[in-house]
Amino acid sequence: MSTIGIIANPASGRDIRRLVAHASVFDNLEKAHILRRVLLALDAMGIQQVIYMPDYDGLVERALRGLKLSLKALQLHMDMWADERDTTEAARRFCENDVGCIITLGGDGTNRAVAKGCSSIPIVAISTGTNNVFPGMIEGTVAGLAAGLVAREMADVKKFTYVAKQLEVYVDGQMAEIALIDVVVCTELFVGSRALWDPRRIQEIVLARAEPDCIGMSSIGGLLHPIGPRDAQGMFVRLGEGNTSVLAPVGPGLISRVDIQDYRLLSLGDEVVLEPAACTIAVDGERQIEVYHDQKVTVRLTNHGPLVVDVRRCLQGASRHGIFKIKTLGHKFSGKM
């Protein structure tokens, strides 16, 4: 049975950066509209079953209202914490239910939580967060088509996915967290409101991706040396007085001068030892770990991240192979592009 998993984060795109910067509010009504388009595309692709994570705003239930679909939509039965643990647990449950592809609605933090539980299930990530480097601005209909191709095994996963890089954070030798985009050392001593926006409170940054056309910490590195999702590199940046400064979009509408003391490129497997200090460590835009001055913190760049569907390449391949011709889309199709 062809099965798709859906994880839609009702809290994405609604953090404190709406107050301190100029970010738009991505409300849950719009997320439900996106999900409607996703579901209609999945149904057209012949997906038989959708399993979705429950949430306090009932996003998928909203999306299903009034739709007449052939596919079955089932809600996971699971305990809820109303935080990222729900996302990770749902991703783990998808592994048990033979899900062929996961569609996520959220930002970098949502997809980091998915990565902690999804094993080798491919992800189609739709951006509905604040600092969105990992997920793309993909139309829901198109995302559903690509996910349907993967879940029905009409697309060769090896051809149209790539393994994301991952940053592993170790505190005193024990892995404490992972990140898909950035690990940031902040001078604040407490997690507080979690979100990052002020570079004056940042000491060091480790990046898996450095992209000048994105918002957030990734842009700082990207303005020094661009590093894309498929590049086998990362970057370490130490902020402070030096010979280099960049004008970086650290938040929506928030463009700041950032002084760079030094930076260097990292190869896969490289480990960075962070300066010992009482601080907080942020992963993918949110402060998560409180560190004491006598603790040792290291960050390792790996290629142990999740499988990501390249939506554009997947649909281009389908077009070249005539997959969307009506006769081919029938249930008798047995080939693979």
Mean pLDDT over 201-222 rounds to: 96
Radius of gyration of the chain (CA): 20
Predicted confidence (pLDDT) at residue 253 exceeds the cutoff of 90: no
Please give the pLDDT value at position 155: 87
- Range in 36-40, 128-132, 186-190, 316-320 with the lowest mean pLDDT: 128-132
Could you tell me the pLDDT band of residue 332, with boundaries at 50, 70 and 90? very low
**Between residues 325 and 18, the one the model is more confident about:** 325
Crossing angle of the two packed helices 108-115 and 84-96, in degrees rounded to 10? 40
Confidence of residue 192 (pLDDT cuts 50, 70, 90): low
- pLDDT band for 13, please (50, 70, 90 cuts): low
What is the maximum span of the chain, computed from C-alpha positions, in angstroms?
66
pLDDT confidence tier of residue 334, bands split at 50, 70 and 90: very low
What pLDDT shows up at residue 34? 97
Residue-wise pLDDT tens digits, 99-124:
999 999 999 999 999 999 999 999 99
pLDDT at 274: 97
Share of the chain above pLDDT 70, in %: 91
| Mean residue pLDDT across the chain | 91
Q: How far apart are CA 262 and CA 189, in angstroms?
A: 24
Range with the poorest average pLDDT among 165-169, 285-289, 329-333? 329-333
251 pLDDT tier (thresholds 50, 70, 90): confident
Residue found by looking up tokens 């957030």 in the block: 216
pLDDT at 273 over 80: yes
Burial 139-164 (b: 16+ CB within 10 A, else e): ebbbbbbbbbbbbbebbebeebbbeb
- The region that residue 46 occupies, defined by phi over 0 for left and psi between -120 and 50 for alpha, beta otherwise, is left
Which amino acid is present at 126?
I
Residue 331, classified by CB atoms within 10 Å of its CB into exposed (0-12), middle (13-18) or buried (19+), is exposed
- The structural domains of the chain, ordered by start, are 3-164+305-329 (3.40.50.10330), 166-302 (2.60.200.30)
